[in-house]
Structure 1
Amino acid sequence: MTRSLWLRTLAQPGRSAVLAAILGAGAMLASSSPSVAAAPKVSTDKGVVIGFVEDGVARFYGIPYAKPPIGKLRWRPPVEPEAWKKPLQATKFGPQCLQVTTLGPFAGPQNTNEDCLYLNVYAPQSAIGGGRKLPVIVWIHGGGNVDGASDAYDGSKMATDGKTIVVTLNYRLNLMGFFAHPAINAEGHLFANYGVMDQQAVLKWVQANIGKFGGDAGNVTLGGQSAGASDTMANMTSPLAKGLFHRAILQSGVGSTTPLATAETNAKNMSVAAGCGSGTDEDTAKCLRKLPAEKIFDLAGTQSANGPYISGLIEDGQIIQRRFVDTIASGDFNKMPVMSGATIDEAMFSLGITQYFREGRTPLTKADYDARIATYGGPTFPENAQERVKKLYPLSAYESPLLALDAIQTDTTQCTQHNTNVLLSGQVPVYAYQFADRTAPTYFPKMEGYLSLAYHTADIQYLFIGWHGGNEGIPHDLNKKQRKLSDELVEAWTNFAWSGNPNGSGDSPWPRFKNKKNLPGILEQNIPFSTAITDAAFTAEHKCQLWDSILSYHPLKTATN
């Protein structure tokens, strides 16, 4: 996006007036040194919170939005916290939620925290207490719904450059957040998707409190990356989130769900493994809630892999009623503008994790390629699926098995997200993209033969400056050209929060996705500039004709009313 486009965006009715007021308030604050030095203070519905200012951004860390989900509150819907009498010093992040699997250097450290339901707020300093009405971006971190934490996501650039209020959050993960044991399901409360319930509790907190931080509760964008995108989709399709947000960002993910019966089987097997037996009565529920957190940690998996009891998002019938594609096809979802896309080398993330945990971190081989081809056999695929995949992705056409696997696995992901965009675009405004900067810095260590390229998660650092994965991720800075792309992405994301249109207004440089094969409809974000490409070019690049014909989960084939 050009600077002139940004200026045109500022000229929109309403936004320019708000920004002028903010700038004016900032000038008055600058002339009064005591005000500049003072720590920002906000009265929430539970008490006063005191934050701090850094680089013109008012920051409030570790605000509790629910009681600690421990003891009898484990595997129950979040409960509002008690009010606090003394001002809360909101200057430190709350604890991360229990996690064991780190996805290589993506997340961590491993921990057994259950007291972890806290959120953070980033706001332009001049917005605090000024009666502003700035758009709100609520961001859900990724990590497969098994790991990750909000403290890695610094929302200050979107707060300052885009004049928005950014809220990040921790939510229950893995077995703590997604668990459907029949003994607990029968207790008469919402069940299974406790992590999604936590997210909805944050959205309710935003409705009650964000005005005091300068935010507009009537203009809330919910977004996330990877699992955070899947969770955003869960909330888009959840009747319990109706009216709590108004725009959605699906960054590298559209999500899939686990049938309730499968999730219940996983939970019952976990109960047996934990020593609580195979029962489904009240005593079994009590036993499960008395388990030490360390025991659940052990059953959730290892650093390199999920355990056998992990279910992910669950079709519980109330929070998530059924498969996302079926809900969208029915038209019975929370309709709003959507921004949706993925990276051009999505698979380099999972392939990097595979190599990261190998002994000696040795490169992927022909055996890995053959194993991947073999996955396209069985009753859910056409008889000739393996041969067709191998013909379109011959190992001889690539410099290494790594690059061949990247192409195969990335294309399945891209085509799946594309088909969901098609399904959505007939009902709501959709802005589609693919992130294509293959110079993006990596937080993986140097590994023989590994190329990170435009890997899954590469684009997070362009929005949340300084992001570098978890405690084992390698910190890095963006170079001048990458900072320019970062400016463009922040501009687009915050324009979308303001207006539901990443351009601010109009249809350039980012056209609305209209599922017209020969019209520009997908923005390819890249250096030195971003370009709108046609739907036909995108689907040809990712060989979607092949994947649409052999993947059983193609939403346009399988979605039913």
Structure 2
Amino acid sequence: MEITAQYLPAWTRPLGAPKVTIAQGTLIGTNINDGTFPAYVEAFLGIPYALPPQGELRYARPVPVPASNQSIDASKYGPRCPGKQLLRVGDGPDHYSEDCLTVNVFRQRGSASDGAKLSVAVYMHGGAFNRGTAKMHNTASMVAWSAEPFVAISFNYRIGALGFLNSAVTAKENLLNVGLRDQVLLLQWVKENVAAFGGDPNNVAIIGLSAGAHSIGHHIMNINSKEQLFHKAVMESGGPTSRAVHPYDSELHKEQFHQLLSEVGCDEVSQNEVLQCLRSVPSEEIIAGSDTVFGKWNPSVRWAWQPVIDDDLISRRPLEGWNSGRWNKVPILTGFNHNEGTMYVPKKMSQSNEFNDFFATLLPQLSKEDLKQLTQLYPDPSTHNDSPYVETRNISVGLQYKRVEAAYGQYAYVCPVRQTALLGSASQNDPPIYLYHWAVNRTVEGGANHGDQMYYETMNPDVRNISPTQAELAGFFHAYVTSFIVSGNPNTVLGRFGQRPEWKAFDNSDGIAGTMVFGEGNDERAGGSGQGITAQFVNDQWAKEECDFWWKESGNWED
């Protein structure tokens, strides 16, 4: 999928390049202002946090960068990690390389006075663990508009078969989930270095959308970590139970692994020579093979190159982690979008049997009785005139599209996010959780699509400039999220949007109630005239019965 970038940054050095010295050298950064920022942002870009994972370090755990006295040009982003491009960012060439493990640091100019201890936010990008880059998130804009300054960090981690080549071969060498290992090393880098940028290593929020949120969920569930690397979490359109986490030796992963070996010509070497063969394959061939295998499984949404149970970082199924009550208990802000499934399901689906086949393939564990209940929860629009999935929009989609979009979006995103709120607040002693429902209708076909909220969270100018209502939506959402980053509470920092309604913590005794709904009834971007309600805290019962079904089944997804 290719989407036009939401911003084009302007790079300038108006008052001299900022400098920061850390163990690995003196960083010479740059100043950013896109012409609309209320404050300049000092940025330190493309800083290596690990040695290049090339040659013998391909598929290895990340290795920290050694100390040095060198000067480092930190004025430009580094290349993205190899994988399919997800968002087109900027108008320059699209650079990617295996030498991609870099970090970017942003702060408001003048905010890091001597002895400053600013809150810290670390952004983990999404992309199904196969795509994406730190540049997708307009972190500089998010920092510039914050009423309370903080240090923000974005970074790249290995994705696709280079980051998640999970198999018996890599398990034997203790090399499972190296993409998640990159994330851990980055958080350790933050703990060791962020004070030099004016940040407080003991006040770190981790924030991510989609696969970034899934990643955060795994770090929250990781009870084997010997150090506390974060203190708050923002999980958007994702969480620990949003994807089935299989054992590394599941039949699904075995088949995908052998398909890759065949693609790159390593299928006829001995078991002991497989890793060496893979390390000797040219980068372009590994990347092409990774993308090909992912593509073969994409139509069924049984994606290749995903995190697996490794008996260490992911030591158990996430649902077991929630139910045990043993997880890293930090305040959480989490939410879902109304139409999470639109980009993942077949747009031309027309027959009811295609709907059944889609879920039977995606979830082979579903029994005939389960599938029957599924069709009752999501009535067939071709036989039920009163089905909410009857297509009334004048768009070129199949008769079953609206139905399969709703079912998949609720299975994969809506209900797992609500599950985080429910299970993460099971005890009165659990830290607060704040839940939201994003309902801003962006397009006629896509609705409130997966990932839409990111552009509001960062106060992107292309969103702010649409209308006063869109500007207010962006202002409210950005203010809530940045207040949570700074204080652990979305209400504490008032700023420019102090009139926004109070966002109460989720109350487990209310079932799925207690949700902040953004933009309900707003269809300006989809060509309508409805401005809707910017934000309201409500008892949100939407899709309750459907979530009850998916929660009942969620313990059966793993092999």
Contact kept? 1:141, 1:148, Cα under 8 Å: yes
SS where residue 315 of structure 1 aligns? Answer: coil
Q: Deviations over 1:235-268 (max 9, x none)?
A: 1112237400011111001132221212355434
Deviates more, 1:302-311 or 1:214-223: 302-311
AA in 2 matched with 1:63: I
SS where residue 483 of structure 2 aligns? Answer: helix
Contact kept? 2:79, 2:95, Cα under 8 Å: no
- Other-structure match for 2:231: 246
CA spacing shift, 1:193–1:47, aligned 2, 3 Å? same
Contact kept? 1:520, 1:532, Cα under 8 Å: no
AA in 2 matched with 1:53: N
SS where residue 154 of structure 2 aligns? Answer: strand
Contact kept? 2:20, 2:196, Cα under 8 Å: yes
Contact kept? 1:225, 1:252, Cα under 8 Å: yes
Aligned-pair distance for 1:416? 2.6
- Other-structure match for 2:434: 431
Q: Which residue among 157, 181, 187 is the counterpart of 1:203?
A: 187
CA spacing shift, 1:251–1:51, aligned 2, 3 Å? same
- Other-structure match for 1:454: 448
**Unaligned regions of 5+ residues in structure 1, if any?**
1-34, 356-363, 443-449, 469-474
**Quick one: distance in 1 between partners of 2:129 and 2:197?**
29
Where in structure 2 are the equivalents of 1:18-167 lying within 5 Å?
Answer: 37-55=15-33, 56-100=40-84, 102=85, 113-160=97-144, 161=146, 162-167=148-153
SS where residue 285 of structure 2 aligns? Answer: helix
The structure carrying a bigger helix percent of its residues is 1
Q: Deviations over 1:119-167 (max 9, x none)?
A: 1111011123532111111000110010001112121233231411110
Aligned-pair distance for 1:383? 3.1
Normalised by the length of structure 2, the TM-score is 0.80
**Unaligned regions of 5+ residues in structure 2, if any?**
1-12, 34-39, 393-398, 495-499, 520-531
**Quick one: distance in 2 between partners of 1:388 and 1:40?**
60
CA spacing shift, 1:241–1:274, aligned 2, 3 Å? farther
CA spacing shift, 1:529–1:77, aligned 2, 3 Å? same
Q: Which has the higher contact order (CA 8 A, sep 6+)?
A: 1
Contact kept? 2:422, 2:511, Cα under 8 Å: no
User: Aligned pair count?
Assistant: 490
SS where residue 514 of structure 2 aligns? Answer: strand
**Quick one: distance in 2 between partners of 1:454 and 1:140?**
22
**Quick one: distance in 2 between partners of 1:465 and 1:550?**
34
Q: Deviations over 1:379-411 (max 9, x none)?
A: 733434444433443313322533333332233
CA spacing shift, 1:383–1:546, aligned 2, 3 Å? farther
Aligned-pair distance for 1:508? 6.0
Q: Which residue among 467, 474, 485 is the counterpart of 1:479?
A: 467
Contact kept? 2:234, 2:334, Cα under 8 Å: yes
**Quick one: distance in 2 between partners of 1:432 and 1:460?**
16
Aligned-pair distance for 1:484? 1.2
Q: Is residue 482 of structure 2 the alignment partner of residue 494 of structure 1?
A: yes
Q: Which residue among 294, 304, 327 is the counterpart of 1:333?
A: 327
CA spacing shift, 1:299–1:241, aligned 2, 3 Å? farther
Contact kept? 1:49, 1:89, Cα under 8 Å: yes
- Other-structure match for 1:171: 157
SS where residue 399 of structure 1 aligns? Answer: coil
Contact kept? 2:339, 2:405, Cα under 8 Å: yes
- Other-structure match for 2:355: 372
Aligned-pair distance for 1:482? 1.4
SS where residue 233 of structure 2 aligns? Answer: strand
Contact kept? 1:381, 1:550, Cα under 8 Å: no
Normalised by the length of structure 1, the TM-score is 0.80
CA spacing shift, 1:293–1:465, aligned 2, 3 Å? farther
Aligned-pair distance for 1:197? 0.8
CA spacing shift, 1:198–1:107, aligned 2, 3 Å? farther
**Quick one: distance in 2 between partners of 1:497 and 1:182?**
39
Contact kept? 2:160, 2:290, Cα under 8 Å: yes
AA in 2 matched with 1:137: A
Deviates more, 1:159-168 or 1:271-280: 271-280
CA spacing shift, 1:39–1:107, aligned 2, 3 Å? closer
Aligned-pair distance for 1:453? 1.5
RMSD of aligned Cα (Å): 3.2
AA in 2 matched with 1:294: E
Contact kept? 1:99, 1:111, Cα under 8 Å: no
Q: Which residue among 276, 284, 300 is the counterpart of 2:274?
A: 284
SS where residue 451 of structure 1 aligns? Answer: coil
- Other-structure match for 2:3: none
- Other-structure match for 1:275: 265
AA in 2 matched with 1:158: M
CA spacing shift, 1:105–1:156, aligned 2, 3 Å? closer
- Other-structure match for 2:37: none
CA spacing shift, 1:310–1:71, aligned 2, 3 Å? same
- Other-structure match for 2:304: 310
